[in-house]
A and B are shown apart, each in its own frame.
Chain A
Amino acid sequence: MLEIRNLTKIYEDGTLAVDDVSFTVPDGEFLVVIGLSGSGKSTLLRCINRLIDPTEGEIIWNGIDLAKLEGDELRHARRKIGMVFQHFNLVDRSSVLTNILTGRLGYSKTWPTMLHRFPIEDREKAWQTLERLGIEDQAHKLARELSGGQQQRVGIARALMQDPELMLADEPVASLDPVLAHSILQHLEDLNQEDGLTIICSLHYLDLVQRYSTSVIGLKAGKLVYQGSKKDIRNMTDDEFKTIYGEEAIRISDTSLEGSLGEVVEQ
């Protein structure tokens, strides 16, 4: 179980990105974070695995406060938290296989990995993961030679190599077209339902939120302004929606961003 208590992040330039946010994520949840651009979704997710150091607050995970960890303890905690990025963040010029094996670095001895040596079990695991995501044909290509959807599957595979118990996904489908978006989210859903992996995922498209989430939180200007179950978001009213997305939401629908949250207003 993950429990966020009074989490606050103020950047060096004074930007208040996350403002006193508290919520709980039971194990096995598929939590979707929604909110306008700049509302603090990425900051929140990055605080959880400490790519960003929170200014205040606690991140209690399985009884440990991640916010206080340093050095090896932090690295060991990170091993169990996979992360998938909007822009995939693959090492473009490395092979797919190397990118995926990167997920094992936290478990490996330093010196062999300097020579690109990984235990045979890790290599086998890499192939299994590739197969599971249907990209075994691409193993020896360079990451940048792959299509966007394939790259994001490599990103998921890399996270899976960590044997994660928690998966953070920061707008994993925002740079993909809708068909690919579904296939990527189905992979995540799979992991959530079959392996019981807890997933925290930020999304922008309402139909995707409705289709995949088991619960939803909404951020606005760093504040938690909405918290609801899958059922709640189905029945979300215009007003509730506006508290999250502001008056701008109407404009978004006018520019007819198909499938975007803007459609809520019209429904």
Chain B
Amino acid sequence: MKSKKSQIYKEASTLPSIVPPWLAAVLSAIVPGLGQALARAVQRGLVIFFSFISIIGLLVWRFKDAAPRDEGVVDIVRKAFRLEPIFVLISILFVIFYIWIIIDAYQMAKIAGKPDKRKPIVVMVLLILVFFVIGWQIGQIDLYAFVTKFGDALPAISRVLWPWERAITYPEETWMGTAGLETPCDDTPPPPTEPLEDKPYLIVDPTCGTPSEQIDQEDGTIEVMPGTKLHVEGYNFTPEKEVEIWWKDPAISQFRHREGGDILRVIPDENGYFEEEITWPYRLIPDSYLEGGANWELQGRQVTTIGDWEFSAELKMAIEKMIETIFIGMMATFFGIILALPFSFLAARNLMRANAFTLGIYYLVRGVLNIIRSIEPLIWAIIAIIIVGLGPFAGILALVVHSIAALGKLYSEAIESIDSGPIEAVTATGANWLQTIMYGVIPQIIPPFVSFTIYRWDINIRMSTVIGLVGGGGIGYLLTQWIRMLDYSAAGIAVWFIAITVALLDYISAEIRERFI
């Protein structure tokens, strides 16, 4: 049939053109490809027509997309050219293509019926270039941003690459000295702090005053009225160790003191003493807290580590979730194998071709397996989450479904490819059906089954690390959370665990495969 077709095509191409060259050119200028088609190059005409139509479609979409608020072709094009100069390049290429179509129609009509064939190599390159440039624009590829912003991302990336400071923590104790303050000032300001033995304390002067205030100006700007200047002295702190200055406002929220926008750090001298001038900060406090005057508290805090290092909570969580991940992959593989086995026999052609009914089952099972397999585990996970909710079970379900389909296909192909020779030989010895299966079939399918199963377990572990991204449990879940919290070090720990585990399992499965096959 194919040869017949090409014969017809051949005959047609030896005929002269239906239209004269100039008309072919005009027709192709109106309907691109029509001239070529009438010049007996139907295929060429169709390719040109559909390429042209799709480029037009893409261009309309991209131009509209670039200038969504503009009306009128000229405005849109002008705006798009200004915003994204790449459109100029696309348009030039497109115009070249259009001109080539017209010239080509002329020449095709001229050489129609003659044996010399023109191969459109240059225009093929041009076409590919057009689609490539449009693709570049659609993909919003921005190498400049990639290069220039790479530097900004380096701190985060370096934390991901080497996150291990975050893996251990030291238990901490806060060493704190305080002083009370009152606002507004009344007749009896609170007395200064009583000095303490062996414990840190602060003395503030004065002990009453007013916080900074923000005043909205007429012109919409905000002006800050600085609050009372305070002289702070600290005693009995651990020498030469940073003291953090904190406030506790009347609404009992605590915050760190900033002077001129920067966090204030003070280092006490060798006697544990420091002094510092600070401005009473601004704080928006609900009126109900201010009735009859309000008490503020100034705190000096020293955080000291006590005792030995221990593993951080993040590390522990990462380990727990990694184990969970491995088990998700394992359980999924396990159920996948058990459920794939019966399907694999139904999907093996050599077993099912006996009659029309079994052949029908074969096609049905094959079809369903193919459809299931073509849907990514991540999408199955989303579906599973709708049914059973977030968590590892959803992940297991998703991977099981995908494993059944993938393993079912691989197993059935293994069954299809078994050698009938040994089966014949075992039958010839007078063995019964069960014995023939046991000695002729099973030894042949075990190695590929083991191989495919290990391969699948490999994939499942890998997949289970990402199935958490959509909420299917495992380490992926932690990873997304930490990335959202911008905790790149913790995320780095998760990434490291994933990498190590996958590499390790790769190695192990390669070893097992070697032993078995």
Contact = CB atoms under 8 A, between A and B. Distances in A.
Interface string A76-109: 1111011101011111111000100011111110
A81 B434 contact: no
Nearest to A113: B435
Interface stretch (B41-49, B160-168, B344-352, B425-433): B425-433
B430 to A, nearest CB: 3
Interface string B104-118: 000000000000000
Contacts of A90: 422, 425
Contact of B429 (A88, A93, A162): A162
Given A110-B432, A110-B434, A113-B435, A102 B444 contact: no
Interface residues of B, number: 21
B422 to A, nearest CB: 4
Q: Which of A88, A92, A107, A162 has the most CB of B within 10 A?
A: A92
B430 A76 contact: yes
Contacts of B425: 83, 85, 89-91, 102, 155, 158
A110 B431 CA distance: 9
B440 interface: yes
A91 B422 contact: yes
Contacts of A82: 428-429
B447 interface: yes
Given A91-B439, A113-B435, A106 B421 contact: no
Contacts of B428: 49, 51, 78, 81-83
Interface in A64-84: 75-79, 81-83
A114 interface: yes
B443 A93 contact: yes
A98 to B, nearest CB: 7
Given A93-B443, A93-B447, A87 B427 contact: no
A88 to B, nearest CB: 8
A114 B446 contact: no
Contacts of B429: 78-79, 82, 102-106, 158-159, 161-162
Contacts of B172: none
Contacts of A158: 425, 429
A105 B444 contact: no
A149 B252 CA distance: 93
A114 B443 CA distance: 12
Contacts of A98: 439, 443
B100 to A, nearest CB: 55
Q: Which of B425, B432, B435 has the most CB of A within 10 A?
A: B425
B269 interface: no
A102 B424 contact: no
Given A91-B440, A93-B443, A93-B444, A102 B421 contact: no
Nearest to B434: A110
A91 B425 CA distance: 9
Contacts of B421: 85, 87-89
B426 A102 contact: yes
Given A51-B424, A87-B421, A89-B422, A78 B439 contact: no
B438 interface: yes
Interface string B434-457: 110011100110110000000000
Given A85-B424, A106-B429, 6 more contacts: A77-B430, A79-B430, A92-B422, A94-B443, A155-B425, A161-B429
Interface of B: 419, 421-422, 424-432, 434-435, 438-440, 443-444, 446-447
